[in-house]
Chains A and B, each alone.
Chain A
Amino acid sequence: MGTTHISTGESKSSRVQTNTARVFSYIFLVFVTILSLFPIFLLIINSTRSNAQLSNGFSLLPSTYFGSNFQKAMGNGGLLRAMGNSLLIAAASSIFSVYFSAMTAYGIHVYDFKLKKFAFTFIMVIMMIPTQISAVGFVDLVFKFKLNNTYWPLIIPSIAAPAVFFYMKQYIESALPMEVIEAARVDGSNEFRTFNTIALPMIFPAMAVQLIFAFTSSWNNFFTPALIISKAERRTVPIVISTLRSAVASGGASKDLGYLYMVVMLAIVPVVIVYILVSKHIVGGVALGAVKG
């Protein structure tokens, strides 16, 4: 980027060297591409094959049992209900997470107040503390307030998401000039309206990226839901997968492999599709969020 090419006078041998390096680089890139895609490819192929075909041998070609596997996976309604539960929790918690993190970042960026610096430092420090460490107290609290087997403890805590806050703060600093806010004030807009109708649309790209991240991390979350959900009809997708795994281990579950691949496929593929649609923004967003200046 902006580099002057000193290579104009490069010798023949160094040009050969560069070409060799380039060939090896592409070979390596193709290798990691296969590494990343092959498990998912295999999953999709296997979800179209019947149990008998799967036990008989390996094949890279799809078969015609997608429909019957799908029906089996949806059969007792357990997976479908779990997907509905997961969708509800993930949608609600990702919206909460992004909206309130943006609000907090906006508050700290736009206003001057005594505890501003402290508030920022505090969030930076707690960002490094893993949630598992406080799980004992969290589960104790949830059961004391009889919130077990409800979705509240999976949704409400996402209002305080330090990493999302940090990302929004970085973005607001670069994309939201104070002049805009002051102009809104002059026009008589109150502070909440300025935030909701003027600031939020301006930071929408950042919100969209974080919405996807927050959604997938909630959709994929296994540890916390497994501790507070025990009723079968309240299960989320990862709990269903885990239940299936223990059932296979104890010999209780049907060993229908087509069914098994289909369940895993249904848990993964929605996220993959959304990712492919918005990947352009995501890959750029990762770096912005994680590396300070």
Chain B
Amino acid sequence: MKNKHKLVSYAKWGYIFITPFFLVYIIFSLIPLLSTFYYSFFDYYQQGLDWIGPNFVGFGNYVKLFDINSTLNNGSLKILTYTKNTMIMWVLGAVPQFIFSLLLAVIFTSERLRIKGQRFFKTVIYMPNLIMAASFAMLFFALFSNVGPVNQVISSITGEEFKYDYLASTNAARLLVATINFLMWFGNTTILLMAGIMGIDQSLFEAAAIDGANSWQVFFKVTIPLLMPIMVYVAITSLIGGLQMFDVPQILTNGGAPAGDCETLIIWLNGYIGGSKNYGIAGAMSVLVFFITGILSLIVYKVLNSDSDKPKKKRG
């Protein structure tokens, strides 16, 4: 049906239809991205009401970020501290999230269990994902405040007044941040993994069953290896999201308390963009976050992909 004349005459419409998207992307995302990288090589900040710069300083901003004695580090490398904080809170939330999601995905897709009420359960577990992270954090702040419902329940069970200040403890505060992230994301992960499992050729499960494999063997020898590509995708997107962690720790701990132990990379960056308005330093931080994200994603990819090649070949 297609003739060449038609294809040529309609080509311009392709460009017309994609123009708004690309125009807006270039103005509001690409130029800002490039200028962020550009400013990272300049002294460019607000002092009082005046703007200083941009004056070219080469790698000066990067040197400041890695100079332990510079004014912004003051004795400890902030970038390491905040990367560590961010990663600890991500891992604390992501590990239970993957375990729960994998278990739920297997339960939902199991031909043997044939779970009823699936739509209800899926609807419920996905719901926290749509809730405003800031509100979720505020809710947890109220529930876990030293006079909040959690301490009230403990008090009434033990009979003694219990006034533990969760947000003053590093471990408890980090755990609460991780819990909120876990609650917000496990439903989403479940649905992605389910889609992955349903994409697996059903005959492989049947073949395994005929060969006498039990449920555990099927799970570890068939499901997991074939699900690897989706799991890699889920892990990397979760990591990228985790490194952008901002709303929850910002609101819950009011900017990273106690003692900055819940302060994440983006809270730190935010302070330099919105607070002290030092675009040079903030630019250098953004570039570093960009590379940290890239490197960690690559590590996750390598780790998860290392032993997943063999079973795939069998599919032929």
Contact = CB atoms under 8 A, between A and B. Distances in A.
Contacts of B124: 32-33, 36-37
A137 B251 contact: no
Given A32-B104, A103-B20, A283-B123, A139 B273 contact: yes
B287 to A, nearest CB: 8
Contacts of A42: 139, 143, 149
B93 interface: no
B66 interface: no
Contacts of A249: 254
- The secondary-structure label for the interface of chain B is helix
Contacts of A39: 128, 136, 139-140, 143, 183
B41 interface: no
Contacts of A104: 17-18, 20-21
B305 to A, nearest CB: 16
Interface residues of B, number: 104
A85 interface: no
B246 interface: yes
Contact of B14 (A112, A241, A287): A112
Interface in B1-38: 1, 7, 10-18, 20-22, 24-25, 27-29, 31-36, 38
Nearest to A179: B1
Contact of B135 (A110, A226, A241): A241
A216 B20 contact: no
A132 B20 contact: no
A104 B24 CA distance: 12
A36 to B, nearest CB: 5
Given A165-B21, A275-B130, A160 B29 contact: yes
A280 B119 contact: yes
A3 B103 CA distance: 21
B33 A137 contact: yes
Nearest to B109: A1
Given A32-B104, A33-B125, A139-B273, A58 B149 contact: yes
Contact of A291 (B13, B31, B199): B199
A61 interface: no
A246 interface: yes
B269 interface: yes
Contact of A22 (B113, B183, B194): B113
Given A141-B32, A227-B273, A136 B11 contact: no
A32 B100 contact: yes
Nearest to A143: B277
A39 B179 CA distance: 12
B266 interface: yes
A134 interface: yes
B33 A1 contact: no
Interface in B93-125: 100, 103-104, 107, 110-113, 115, 119, 121-125
Given A3-B206, A100-B21, A135-B273, 10 more contacts: A57-B152, A111-B11, A135-B36, A136-B286, A141-B28, A141-B31, A191-B16, A227-B270, A241-B134, A291-B199
Which 9 pairs from chain A and chain B are nearest by CB?
Answer: A107-B17, A137-B32, A111-B14, A287-B195, A137-B35, A160-B25, A113-B14, A134-B33, A138-B32
Interface of A: 1-7, 18, 21-22, 25-26, 28-29, 32-33, 35-37, 39-40, 42-43, 46, 55, 57-58, 100-101, 103-104, 106-108, 110-116, 119, 123, 126, 128-141, 153, 156-157, 159-160, 165, 182, 191, 195, 216, 219-220, 222-223, 226-227, 237-238, 241-242, 244-246, 248-249, 257, 260-261, 263-264, 267-268, 271-272, 275-276, 279-280, 282-283, 286-288, 290-291, 293
11 contacts: A28-B103, A36-B125, A58-B152, A107-B18, A132-B269, A141-B32, A220-B133, A241-B251, A261-B139, A267-B132, A283-B122
